[in-house]
Amino acid sequence: MIEKLNREQMAARVARDIPEGAYVNLGIGLPTMVANFLPAEKDIFLQSENGLLGMGPAPRKGEEDLELINAGKQPVTLLTGGCYFHQADSFAMMRGGHLDICVLGAFQTSTRGDLANWHTGAPDAIPAVGGAMDLAIGAKQVFVMMELSTKSGESKLVEHCSYPVTGLRCVSRVYTDLAIFDLSAEGAVVTEMARGLSFDELRRLTGVPLRPAFGLVARES
Amino acid sequence: MIDKTVGSCDEAVADIADGARIMIGGFGTAGMPDQLIEALLRQGAKGLTIVNNNAGNGDTGLAALLAAGRVRKIICSFPRQSDSHHFDRLYRAGKIELELVPQGNLAARIQAAGAGLGAIFTPTGFGTRLAEGKETRHINGRDYVLEYPIAADFALIKAHRGDRWGNLTYNKAARNFGPIMAMAARCTIAQVATVSALGELDPEAVVTPGIFVRRIVESLPASAAAA
């Protein structure tokens, strides 16, 4: 049996790859959950696009401050040592390559690292982009976190994005419920797989060219 | 003596003409100058172009301005939200024009206007739908899109404290677009919680120097504003 990771396990797995001292932006949705798994004893700096560095967890009930919110407009707190800044500085942190890691959700990611996460392409959809395009191209490493397949079973790791792209060749690694992929101009390399999943089965599920990393074995934990 | 404080929000926005381009600070409702927007609504100017990160939340502030049909065009990064029903309705009915700008490009273009730059080359959006038809350039191994500054006739912003020379401090994440919008408008009007005497603001803590601010209004307590 294939042991798929659930959302919490995916978040925990991403959190394991974030080192102490990293400046990190966690995108809206699934990536936000990564914060719950960052070890409290490590100093990891969370940036929020609306102007926070050193963002802390949600406040206790009754202590919400409407002028202290995250990118999803939910109330948050500021850690001791955290600070505030304006929008131009906030996006200079992204665009200027000062953030170490950015974790984003995606509709699709191509094996060469193109990202589609801002628009479904539906003609009647009201478009909204926010900081997605800046985050995609700014951080030193851009991680995508997504389920490998859509509800109807289509792979979200693709050779070419069919959805409108957010950025080109910007994603360096994709964490999914079934496997982890490192992406580059040479294509996708599988570095970890869920227990019980074979490389051939993963190839069949994605339908894209994949190479195994040296010594690839199914995930142990 | 220079005193940029004005007695009321109504007085502060009285000369905004039909067709004006107005920047409005805020990220959602954090930093949104609600009382200035309400005054603008009472004042009646129409055919406005609004620059804001969003396109209104709920039924108050910017959303109320949209609902009243005063806005011809909006330049923003994230219009579609769970509570953007007034914008959604106008957009689907073809009654409002939308220029969608990635948030960092919005900030950079506003900042470019305030800093007197003719244009900027930004990597954000390259190769995407939002850069279609725009000039691009390959610089030092990377691709960039040419984007032009966004300036405005007026900026309505919310700050925390201010003084009669127009120096401003902000509160937490309500700072967001305030400092850069203040620089990019011909006339910046700041709604502040408290007007302090000159010298009471720590010069080291001033975020927006008074040169960028034309008018300053102390906001009414929430209870009085609602009355």
**Same domain assignment for residues B125 and B169:** no
Shortest CA distance from B158: residue in chain A:
A67
- Residue A62 CB partners (closer than 8 Å, separation 6+): none
- Residue A86 has its nearest CB partner, among B102, B126, B175, at B175
**Same domain assignment for residues B37 and B141:** no
- Residue B173 has its nearest CB partner, among A50, A127, A132, at A50
**Same domain assignment for residues B35 and B72:** yes
Contacts of A88 in chain B (CB under 8 A): 107-108, 110-111, 179-180
- Residue A211 CB partners (closer than 8 Å, separation 6+): A187, A188, A189, A190
| Cα separation, B220 vs B45, whole angstroms | 22
Q: Is some CB atom of chain A closer than 8 A to the CB atom of B60? A: no
**Same domain assignment for residues B83 and B35:** yes
How many independent structural domains does chain B possess?
2
Q: Check CB contact under 8 Å for A90 and B107.
A: yes
pLDDT of residue A159: 97
Going A23 to A26 to A31 to A32, the CA torsion angle's sign is positive
Contacts of A83 in chain B (CB under 8 A): none
**Same domain assignment for residues B57 and B154:** yes
Three-state secondary-structure class, residue B68: coil
| Cα of B151 to nearest chain A Cα, Å | 15
Q: What is the CATH number of the domain that holds A85?
A: 3.40.1080.10
| Cα separation, A13 vs A24, whole angstroms | 15
Domain span at residue B97?
9-101+150-217
pLDDT of residue A217: 73
**Same domain assignment for residues B58 and B141:** no
pLDDT of residue B221: 86
If one counts every other C-beta atom within 10 angstroms of the C-beta of residue B161, the result is 20
Residue B119 in any domain: the answer is yes
pLDDT of residue B225: 61
| Cα of B68 to nearest chain A Cα, Å | 21
With a cut of 50, list the residues of chain B below it in pLDDT: none
CA dihedral A111, A44, A49, B158 (to 10 degrees): 180
How many independent structural domains does chain A possess?
1
With a cut of 50, list the residues of chain A below it in pLDDT: 221
| Cα separation, A115 vs A122, whole angstroms | 17
Residue B3 in any domain: the answer is no
pLDDT of residue A221: 47
Cite the active site residues of A: 49
Shortest CA distance from A88: residue in chain B:
B107
